[in-house]
Amino acid sequence: MIGLYTAAEIRAAEEPLLAAGPEGALMQRAATGLATVCLRMLGSAYGRRITLLVGAGNNGGDALVAGAHLAARGARVTAVLLDPGRAHPAGLRALRRAGGRVLDPTAEDNGLDRADLVLDGIVGIGGSGGLRPRAAALAEQAARGPGLLVAVDVPSGVDADTGAVHGTAFEAGTTVTFGAVKPGLVVGEGKGFANEVRLVDIGLDLPPARTHQLTDADVALRLPFPLPGDDKYSQGVVGVAAGSSVYPGAAVLCTGAALRTRPGLVRYAGTAADGVRAAWPEAIVTDGRPADAGRVQAWVVGPGMGTDDAAERVLTEVLASDLPVLVDADALTLAARRPGLVRDRSAPTVLTPHDREFARFGNEVGSDRLGAARGLAADLGAVLLLKGEATVVADPSGTAYVNGTGTPWLATAGTGDVLSGIVGSLLATGMDAAEAAAVGAHVHGRTGQLAAARGPLVAGDLLRRLPDAIRRIQQAAGFVPIGLGDSAP
C-alpha cells in the first residue's frame, strides 16, 4: 500500500535528518536519485542538452545539484535562474564547478527549444497559487519544446496536498518525488500534470499514513480464492434494489457486476425483475420489495430506481436495516433530500456520488477533492466514494484512499452501475466498508483499462472483462488458484 503524505508531514519527517546529518546531505540524496532517473530516461548523459528551470530555495537547489551530477557525466547543462539573487548557493557552486552554464530568465537562448530534457525546479511542495508570469512563460515554452519534461518533487503550479492548479503549471511527463508520494500528484488536476510518478527514497521515518493508494498486490490479498469448504452462502449474499421499467439496464448491469465479482449469491428485488431474470439466471429474482427477497448480507440500492415515492419507500426500507448498504445514483438524490436516513444509521453505509450528485448534499466539491470527501463522510457518518478521474474514498474518521487505476473511457453510461455491483458484492463478504469501496474502485478501473485496450467501451464490456481483470490482478501479485498452479487457463 502506498502512503500519501502532505507537505507538512514531509517537512516534519525531514527535520530530524536535517538536524542530525551534515549540511546538504539530504539534498545530495534527493539530487542523486533525481539525476539517476534522468540518466535512465536519456540512456546516456554525454552530449545531451539539459535545461534547468530554477526557482529560489531547496527545490531549485535539488535541480542545480542534479544538474551538476549530469554535467559531470558530460551533459551540456544550462540553468535558467528565475530569481538569481535567491538561487541556492551551494547548488549553484556545484553546477558551475561541473561546467554548467547559468542564465537569467530574460536570456533569449535558454536552450528550451532544443533541450533533450528539461528539469522543473521552479517551485517545490510549499508552492501555492498559480505561477508568476515569467515562470508561466518558461513552463509553456518547455511544453512546446522537444525535451523530456521532468518535475522535481512536484510540478510547479500544482498544490502538493490537493492537486489544485490555478493558472499555468509545468506539465511533466515524469515527476520525481522525494521521500513519499504527495496527494496532489495523484488526485485532482495535479494528476494530469504529474503523469508518471517515480519515488526516490531519502530515508524519511514517516508516521502511519492517513491517505493511501492500493496496489494490485493489496487488492489481491483482499480478493481471496474460494476455499474447499466454501459454499454460495459463505462467500457473501448481496441484495440489489435497482432498476425500473424505464431503466431496466441499470439493474441488469449492477446485478451482473455483483455476480461476476464474487461467485456467491445475488438476490434481486425490484420492478426490473423480468430483465434481470432473462439476463442473469444465476440470480434469485423477486418482483417485489427488498423485504421479499430473502436474507442478504449487504444491499446495493439506487441505480435506475427513480426518485418517486415508491423509490423513496424502498430506500427507507433498505437503510432501516442493520446491514451494510451502498447508496448510488437515484438513491443519492433521495438521500440528499433526507440525509437523516444516512446519519441515523449504525451499520456501514457507502455513498458513491459524482461531483454533481455530491453537490446535492449542500456543497461543491471544489479543488480539494480529498478534503471534500472527508468533510461529507464525517458529516454523514458514511464512507464517501467520490467518482472522478482519480476516485477518492474517505471514511468518517478521515482515512482516505486515492484510486490509481482507470481510463477516461469509463465516462460512459452504466459504468457506475457496474461499480456499485462490484463494491456491493465486497461489502457482502464482510469487508470493511472503506476498503470495499477502495478495492472495488481499483478493480473497476483495471477492468476499464482492459476493456478500453480494444477501443471505446460500453458498460456491458466491463461485465465481460471483469473476471479477466480480477485474475490479472491476482496473477500480478503472484496469486494462483489452489490446485491449479501454472496450469490455470
Q: Which residues are annotated as a binding site for K(+)?
A: 59, 120, 156
Strand order in the sheet with 392-394: 2-4, 211-213, 400-402, 392-394, 383-386, 349-351, 325-327, 298-301, 237-241, 265-269, 284-286
What the block records as the C-alpha cell of 389 is: 478521474
Report the distance separating Cα 248 and Cα 43, nearest Å.
Answer: 55
Report the distance separating Cα 28 and Cα 160, nearest Å.
Answer: 22
Report the distance separating Cα 315 and Cα 326, nearest Å.
Answer: 11
CB atoms within 10 A of CB 24: 16
Report the distance separating Cα 130 and Cα 139, nearest Å.
Answer: 12
Q: Is 15 left (phi over 0), alpha (psi -120 to 50) or beta?
A: alpha
Residue 193: phi and psi, rounded to 5, are -95, -25
Which residues contact residue 309 at a Cβ distance below 8 angstroms, ignoring those fewer than 6 apart? Answer: none
CA distances from 174 to 40, 228, 466 (A): 12, 46, 30
Is residue 405 helix, strand or coil?
A: coil
Binding site members for AMP: 387-391, 416
What the block records as the C-alpha cell of 32 is: 542523486
* Contact yes or no for 154/124 (Cβ under 8 A): yes
* Contact yes or no for 177/150 (Cβ under 8 A): no
Strand-pairing partners, residue 284, are 267
Binding site members: 58-62, 120, 124-130, 153, 156, 250, 304, 354, 387-391, 416-417
Closest alpha carbon to 412 in 454, 448, 379, 369 = 448
Q: Where are the beta strands (DSSP E) in 12-65?
A: 49-54
* Contact yes or no for 47/160 (Cβ under 8 A): no
Which residues contact residue 347 at a Cβ distance below 8 angstroms, ignoring those fewer than 6 apart? Answer: 321, 322, 323, 324, 325
Binding site members for (6S)-NADPHX: 58-62, 124-130, 153, 250, 304, 354, 417
